[in-house]
Structure 1
């Protein structure tokens, strides 16, 4: 019997009863009294004495302590139990009966708990730890943690921690209202779809923005800029304009350091709160969030985290305060008359309205001063704060519409035959922006009406199709909102000297040839060549003679990579040379390549959201093979000849050290989890050839794989990774697969794991996780567990030797028979006097030991020995094997072992 552990008793018995009110729950009395299995009457009596002594000591402590109150209630309950049970409390069978009754009560309590959990939280499929603890306490049932976990599993609930929901969008009310209106016009439910219009799979927001399998997607300023550029190239429509206006609001928010993920989460939560206020059931709220694009798990978690709705009516004074809180100053001033004169809050509200009027006047004056000082961004911020204070004031709204916007920013010019100009729109929420681009000779124009008009557009890009060549040109970009005035310009000066373009280059074993296009004003193209490295400048390398439109270089060697710098030369109005920027191309004389038809891709391991794969292909001497991966298959066929720029535009290059082994080359590389198309490209002397693509998906492997042999069956269990919905389970024996079973998550739950048929021989279980997608199946690296064979069975008998003369003999014969082929290192026969049978060799006296016994299937061996003459009756004779693994020894009937 173990000693009474007071610390453990306080943790396991006293602790769970703290905070409970009313009668003590009818729990397991064995736990309450610390009664352990196997205790006899004296041990039970001693344990009851110690437990009651502990209760008495605790019950006399400070009244404010929870443990004091618990022990007082335990003593009171003990009096009732002693009154009804009396001396039976010392009987071990009474405690067994109490345990059985508690088991029945616990089953009923678990059933009730499952029903209540389903009824209360089945709508979301989740429950918080606090909610679970409250409902368990409400049941007044003393359930072990394992029983509570079982009830949660039967109710098909997940226990989660609630999410802290945002109370504000992170941007001012007027900007948020305008953003919502523009999203509605554009037909976009949230800013997630605005920033990722091609997104067709659920996204997550509860713990940050994420799209499973799309780790590159973000809600940030860079994404806003990308979508702004894309919108600026779209044809005009009311929908496109609404998208642009919404993107301007997001750009402003991002520049001010606002978190766009919080803004997106607030958009979803706002609609959920409205649905909860309207009395919608949780299932409908979850469905609504999923329709907004949210992943079902996040939708359930957000609905679970919503606070309860209060139905307290709002007074007239409260309504006025709500109007002030919403920034409707003019309406609040009008509604003040509805507040009774005797209302104690009326004077305070009147003063709040007067304070708001004063703030409005101050903001408007500050905005005028900021605009006069060319601080347009500050002026707009002040006017927006004024509009937030009085959003129902038309004069304030009109001043905001007529405000001169800040100038555009970051003007970038790409000087070429068609000079491209790009700039960043101003940080402003003003709608309907339009830009005017003008060019001046020598320097940028100072006003929108000066110089040559290049473009007037709503986009943030323009092209000068007829730039001045080889002389300085100044460009200025102005912006205006609606019918408002033009802003100050953003300007830059460049000298346009178009470089050579559309360069094509080919290399055979003996020659490199190239061709290009030039601007009509070009006077020459200068070419220099370097070996094995890129040129550092336009004067680096050996001069190569070239025509204005191409070159042929016969002074080359096979296997050497050559780099060519190409510089177009012009003359300005004073006949001085003006050189273009240098264009560099490379070529390596090499043999003709063949398309790669033998690419293989296999997973090596998975680490978080990344995986390592091994790629392999048949090697071609002196031919470089590049591999790129993408989400979709290429449009070209295997064997197509492509340009370097064409393959660079397809997906992402897979990089890693290449190792040559025999006839194959291999490379290991890290890639994101998910489904990928891998395409090999062979770079030869006559160009790049596309190879045959390989589709390969990668998923997370299963975790905590466990295998248990039960006779001729193998029980397999594991923890499912997120996103994995199917598992492929293989049973291998003698290095060959004998069965492959596919198990879905639903089958796994219903059947409580997976069971395979096996025989006595050892084998191996392999489990591969599978995620099914639109492009096929993503498979995980295999997780493997070796399963030992079933232990061989040995049966034995003990008898006297045959014949009348041995009828009273002390000699015995042990006959051992094997059911299957096996080996036994040591077979030991022991004898033990007394009524207790030995269960280990050390518990008896060794009589005989046989070593190195080999058995074939069905073979029997006999071992004869003589019992010691001083062995008193009664005694036991029993056999053992050492070591006791790999073989199961089956005893004969007990009366054959006991003498």
Structure 2
């Protein structure tokens, strides 16, 4: 199809100009290309497109865009050169990458629209156009992006500036007196949810404003007269005398929303306020917030135009505009802006001239960057910046790493701007990175490869740094070796480009096929070094890779271990000691199976088959055998003799391993003892013994009851044993037990009371017990404040008694202490330290438990 320049201008150049001068990322659009083109078609079309750019450059509005397109073309020139020579693959790769960049640009623009719309999901047309320009997408594309994301593009609703009723202020004060949030609440109460005030006032499912106002008049007329009815009359009068009560309600809502906007920086919190407190329907709430946030006057005149140009970054245009104005127009804000614009332009021109005279491109780049920060539209600065390439990268090194190629280089010494590196393979772009390293995951095989690294700053590129040529020849993959009785074998996968595989043993060639070999010229017990190399065809003959190297030792058939003994290790719970007669060759391992082994004793099989059938048991060597740790539950333990890749089956035993419970605890709760533990894995029953009396507990019963509970007098000591148990061949087997001893104690109770007149009061401490007991020491402790004392040292000791016979009645002068304060007793008794209450009375040697009275007797307020 012939090149249509008018269509190209309409569909490519004009949208790119509207998008801020950013050319389209998709090279199909930029160069008018399609998949069916031949090399000649591509070359002819690109030539016509570039001629169109040169003609467009003569038009002022396209000049900057045409310069950008020509500067970009330098990056793609090698691709089109290759296409002209008949190689379209680099162009296809570049087209795919440009399409992905275009998709990313659209995605970024969509994200910006999402962020700008926020929870309100609304944008003004002006803001949409700004985002479209800065994102490099056209206005129509931005509108389609907004529509796909359910973002509404609209001008804000016009809102009233003044109340439609002059007495609105008094009506609002009356609403505050009545405790109502807005006028709609006065008329409709709880019925005003989802109220709509735009496009006409309405409350779904409720009467009209006039009917609601009549109901309100009747309701308040029947109320007893008072300040509330006066306020209601004021509100009713405002609604009745307003030209349109619906407009007055809308103004009331808008006024309250305007007041809240400074308090709510986020739209989602303002939406919650509008829908919950102001009872607005969600759609009206969004539109009102959007309109209130967008309120503001529109400035006009020279000052406004100058400010608009300055805010848009068009400083040079602002300077031209100021020069064109009459002297009388430059007054006030306009004069200040014109002075600022002229100063920024003069400073930027000096920096541009300094950049032109600089010998170091970095110094020139820094000066131009500063100039463009002051005047983004400074003539000639952007074009000069595009010619300031960074210093090139250096010392590029490429090396084969596995099936890929790794590249490293010394970074560009340029210190100005962000320098990135374009990596090329045989002249075709491979990747872009900001690090001094890269990797080619899929290099071509068995052909010379030349990698180049081009340092780039913005669009300016340095001379390429080239690595030494290399050739990638992968080694054979998935190389595996096996050994048997007088034989060594190997297998591999042949690389697609390789002609064959070469195998050597200690430097001697071994006969091999395309996928494996079998070498019988070996001696058992001797170690051999095998090398498996790939052979590739080359221009100067065959090329052989260094190869995969492996040491292999063949072994004779291992002899079985026909019998062994197994006993528990008393020093290490869960560990068992195994004794057997060592075989003459190989190492002995133990394997766990779920069922007896399917192979007879003496059967030799591959080690891989054995590993697939059973689980290797962790073990370590001992003086006369091994120590192993079988798993929990019932297993069949098999002795296996392993030599190289062969395993010979030996004897086996049926073993059940019942692990002891862990985390055993016992705690008294008055006259009860609660026993808990972590249930052993793969065990369904345990045996619990209390003072030698056994009981079987199932896991279901344990979990249903939350543990094991015994009724035991507090003074009785308790010995607990818990062991896993199971029935094997008709008899019950019991595993190792976990033990715990719980001493008894005697509960001792005390009470506090006061007696005597206020000026001579005493504290009476009455101590009682179910049977006589002697307390080694009893202390009465005082602690001011709201927090009770936790120990005898956590406060002031008012008095103490030693070797106190219980029961006892003790008297202490009442303390002269400001309330609130606490009084509490702490004691030591025969046999050990006493806990603070009965629930904590679990000690090592038994004793007494001092039990507090109610809190109201301890705290003085």
Larger Rg: 2
* Alignment TM-score, normalising by the size of structure 1: 0.30
